[in-house]
Every structure is written in C-alpha cells, then in structure tokens.
Amino acid sequence: MTKLKTAVIGAAGYTGAELIRLLVHHPACELVCLHSKSQKGTRVDQVHRDLLGDCDLRFTDVVPTTGLDAIFLCLPHGEASTFLKQHSFPSSTVIIDLSTDFRDESAGFVYGLPEVNKEKISTAKRIANPGCFATGILLALAPAIQNGWIQGSVHVTGITGSTGAGKNLADTSHFSYRINNISVYKLFTHQHLQEIQQTFQQLNSKVNPEVFFVPYRGNFSRGIWITAYFPFLGAKEEAIAAYDTFYSGSAFTYISKEAFDLKQVVNTNKCTLHLQTEKGQLVVYGALDNLLKGASGQAVQNFNLAFGLDEKMGLNLKSIAF
C-alpha cells in the first residue's frame, strides 16, 4: 500500500498527540512532519512519553508546502486561518482543520460530520472537523430533526472531561479545581451552537429549533455525556426504528437498546445513543470520547473517507471498560 505523506500542525497539544497515536500505526499513513513552535527540535517521545518506541520524529516549526498528501491542523481557534494565509498548499493536498475556523464551510471547507456529509467528505480537499459537543448533540438529534419531530425548542445538557479544555493550564482545568467538582460554563452561549444550527438547517430547512444547551465541566479526564429531550407523541419503538434507519450506514454510531455508561465509549471512535420516552418527552442519551470521535478520531475517519480508504482504518479501538 502506498502511504500518504502526512503532517500534523500543532502536534504538541491533546488533539495533536491523539492524532500521532492514531496515525503512527495507520496502515496508509506516513508521518513526515510534526509541527510545534513551542517544542521545535525536541523528540516527540520526550513530550508525549507514551510514544517511546512508536515515533522518533522531532518537532519542527518548518512545514513543507509541497510533497504532502494530507495536513491536519490542530491549532488554537483563530490560528488555523492565519496559518493557511501564511502557507500555500496545492489544491490536491487534503487539509483537515480541527478548530472552529472553517466550520461555517467558508473557504471551500466541507463540514466533516460523516453521519450527515459522508458523500461530500469523500470528494473534499478541505474538511472542517466538528466540535466535540457539536458531534454529540448532532448525533443525538439528527434523526429527530430530519423527521421534523422538533418544532419548538430542545433542551440539552452535556458534561465533558478536562481534556476538552486543552493542554494549556487554566484555573478550571487544575486537578485541585476539577476533582470532586462540577460546574456550568457558557450557559446557552457555547460556541458549538452555531455549527449545530447550521447542520439542523441542512438536515431539514423547514424547522429551526432553539437549542437550550447547558455545558458542564466534569471531574474526569476524557469523555462526553449528552442528554437531550423534547416533546414527542409517538411510541419509543417508532423513534428507535427511525434512529436505526438513519444510522444504518454509519461506521461508528450505534443505538443501544440497553442503558450504557461513559466508559463503554472512552478510547474508541464510537458514539453510542440510547432512547427513552417519559411524560410525553423523547429523551436521547449520547456518549463519546471527546478526544477521539469528538476530535482526532473523527479527523482520521474524515482522512479515510477523503482518500477512499476503509472508513474504520486505524480506528478499531477497544474501550477501557474499567
């Protein structure tokens, strides 16, 4: 198999590290450039110590503009667009951005949620990876939106692990703050709401529900748990059948008939959903790993689709379970 020459830009952070861990063993990938301004010259396994024996590359702040088949941008929000203005790549190079910069599908980017946009992703050269909360909320609600079940508002809560805040130290990501603690942030104003509403319109232009989203900081390192509910007069079996149909061609989204827990998806690229009806409401629970299906794993899934590879290549990961 011819290997695709690949660069990871901003490779010293959490999402960059997860990408390296996935791509270093990916059968169709050859990592040739791992970019980091802060760690330039340092061996990768001195920063990401678990990669000892897996990757002996050194971080660099020089990125070749030719000879690359794929580029992953793992830069802070706002910096990806600047980077692309400063570096010109051939139109044939597949660029997958993990920031918010192009999720509005500007500059020729396609929104990279495979369960909704698989056909567009498979021919795209510029792909905007969805946000972690956006992925969980959209997968929990996409079939309901498409079927026109949500006419008014929808209430959503979501709790995320500390890795969702990035690697840079902040008061709310300190161990002493997070442990034995929970807190709300960005009440009803989370930045992922824009891409959620945009995708709702693509799924069903006749509905425009308002999303009342309450995000929580969790006292665990990785994972996202979503709970969404809205008025629903149908039977639970009808809802499950509709969700099963919607995700029948999905490589990683599953409908669980039984209740499940967060650890069943941590360290996997899965999103697991469970449906219940109670007091005239359809309640949808969703869980995913914020660093994998919510970030780097989904980026590799998009890489596979863009190059016509098996969608699951390099992503057959097993949950830690306990």
- Angle, to 10 degrees, between the axis of helix 297-306 and the axis of helix 14-23? 50
- Specify the 3-state DSSP secondary structure of 72: strand
CB 10 within 8 A of CB 37: no
Q: Strand (E) positions, 21-160? A: 29-35, 70-73, 94-97, 110-111, 126-128, 153-160
Q: Which amino acid is at 263?
A: K
CB 218 within 8 A of CB 274: no
Q: Which amino acid is at 141?
A: L
Whole-angstrom distance, CA of residue 301 vs CA of residue 215: 26
Residues in the chain: 322
Tokens of 155: 């209430």
Q: Phi then psi for 224, rounded to 5 degrees?
A: -135, 135
Closest CA to 126 of 89, 156, 161: 89
Q: Which amino acid is at 301?
A: Q
> DSSP letter at 43?
B
Whole-angstrom distance, CA of residue 193 vs CA of residue 197: 6
Residues with a catalytic annotation lie at 132
